[in-house]
Structure 1
């Protein structure tokens, strides 16, 4: 099996290369080898390489910058998935794509289910929803995994930012009224591996949108405190004291793009799809933090 992985230098892409390597030939072009913003070049590349499956981990993820660079955000998050979906539809193969909790309006306190009405608050969220819609319009063999608060031992993410700031400062103010589940890139790749195995072994796989996040919920403030507590337990030097990590409200930390307050996502559907029990976010944090510290 020949699998094309886009966005291979990102957090999820890196973990995908590690997880998928036993399954066949993985082609993962760098930005220098393929400009994903050049859709004509993408089409030519697909014809030349003829992949048997596409896993699209490429995305515009700069949430605030998307407010001013809408064209690029929609190109990578909506137009590129449409091109990839058209290819997989023509060649009767599968597309796996990653979406976001930002497609929801962030209201209420109950977990979103996949059939809930969407209502993105930002350009980024609108571009991700447009990508989901494009795939559903263009092909019938797809898996869209909506995930939240992605982090890993590599790249730029909240966990690594907190460890840096916690080493520099004795106190911090962190937003405490946005609720969701931090999702390690490693977990995303592991479950993608399971999905690819099911497809490759000709098991019945139902196309659709699935939430991919650990069980449980937290907020950014509590997540930061958990990071600091675990880091200190593992001997990592920090200047910050957890008692001096203050919870603030979203209105006290204005950003160009609006953030959803409720990013809770029900994961029953993906548990059924893959016949798994999703782990909790706390155990996943410890695994990821240990990997980073080691």
Structure 2
């Protein structure tokens, strides 16, 4: 049995389709604000592997409540990782491009220096460092720009606004790879299976959709795919201030993930089409 922390988030919801036999732990099982409860659940259930798909993801809110974000994104994964290491269980922890400073134009490789720009990124980096320090078989999987038919995400926001307005100004100087939650779930399944057989593959890896794009171009593709006539106007990051600074460059070098696990970067445009079709079908 695989234990998944997370029940209603985008990746956890996708994992329910990919791993229907897994045990999905919500707040009633173990609240991430109480890290010891997470470790206790692992010890009690003694699963074959653990995936942490839960996190504090309110990026802007974290600027005002970094302490809570750090407990949920840092201390809770630390407790999970130590419990898994004690039982020699594979542990897959989902992280983020926000651990980088976003400088330059080249894709970030897993071993490159980190430098988060905001509280959310610092909290996620704390979790990464703790998972590595635990010393057990683990994979930290950094991803970016997650979307799906569930939860709150850029795709759903654009579909709502695009149906209401004739034009939208969207940031055009931030670059990254949109990533379907379903593709992340598929990657986690593959990684867990291989990590159980080959714990020497432990480490930090990147996974994001291809091709890299900007938020503005992503929005244009969303509107085109959905048949919306909303026009996108390119704006600069400075024209759309947010409480938390965002990295300009979120491109991720995913070559080591393909080399180690045979996982290629998926085309996010195909996943976007499927996501829109799902949303239209449920409307």
Normalising by the smaller structure, the TM-score range is over 0.9
Distance (whole Å) between structure 2 residues aligned to residue 36 and residue 241 of structure 1: 40
Deviation sequence 1:264-283 (CA, Å, 0-9, x none): 11111111122243222322
Distance (whole Å) between structure 1 residues aligned to residue 40 and residue 124 of structure 2: 24
1:144 to 140, 143, 161: 140
- SS state of the match for residue 249, structure 2? coil
- SS state of the match for residue 46, structure 1? helix
**Within-5 A mapping of 1:39-54:** 39-54=35-50
Give the aligned partner of residue 185 of structure 2. 189
1:156 to 152, 169, 175: 152
1:293 to 262, 280, 283: 280
Give the aligned partner of residue 195 of structure 2. 199
**Within-5 A mapping of 1:131-280:** 131-200=127-196, 202-203=197-198, 205-232=200-227, 238=228, 240-242=229-231, 245-280=232-267
- SS state of the match for residue 62, structure 2? helix
Give the aligned partner of residue 17 of structure 1. 16
Unaligned 5+ segments in structure 1 are: 233-237
Contact 2:36 2:79 in 1 (8 A): no
Q: 1:42 to 1:275 in 2, by over 3 A?
A: closer
Deviation sequence 1:215-266 (CA, Å, 0-9, x none): 221111110000000101xxxxx4x433xx1111000111110000000111
- SS state of the match for residue 253, structure 2? coil
- SS state of the match for residue 116, structure 2? coil
Q: 1:203 to 1:39 in 2, by over 3 A?
A: closer
Give the aligned partner of residue 89 of structure 2. 93
Contact 1:105 1:121 in 2 (8 A): yes
Distance (whole Å) between structure 2 residues aligned to residue 173 and residue 17 of structure 1: 36
Unaligned 5+ segments in structure 2 are: none
**Within-5 A mapping of 1:29-108:** 29-108=25-104
> What is the Cα-based RMSD across aligned positions, in Å?
1.5
Moved runs in structure 1, 4+ residues, more than 4 A?
none
Q: What is the Cα deviation at residue 38 of structure 1?
A: 1.4
Q: 1:9 to 1:52 in 2, by over 3 A?
A: same
Q: What is the TM-score of this pair, normalised by structure 1? A: 0.91
Distance (whole Å) between structure 2 residues aligned to residue 84 and residue 40 of structure 1: 8
Q: What is the Cα deviation at residue 205 of structure 1?
A: 5.0
Please identify, of 135-144 and 29-38, the stretch whose mean Cα deviation from structure 2 is larger: 29-38
Contact 1:205 1:273 in 2 (8 A): no
- SS state of the match for residue 28, structure 1? strand
Contact 1:215 1:267 in 2 (8 A): no
Distance (whole Å) between structure 1 residues aligned to residue 129 and residue 79 of structure 2: 13
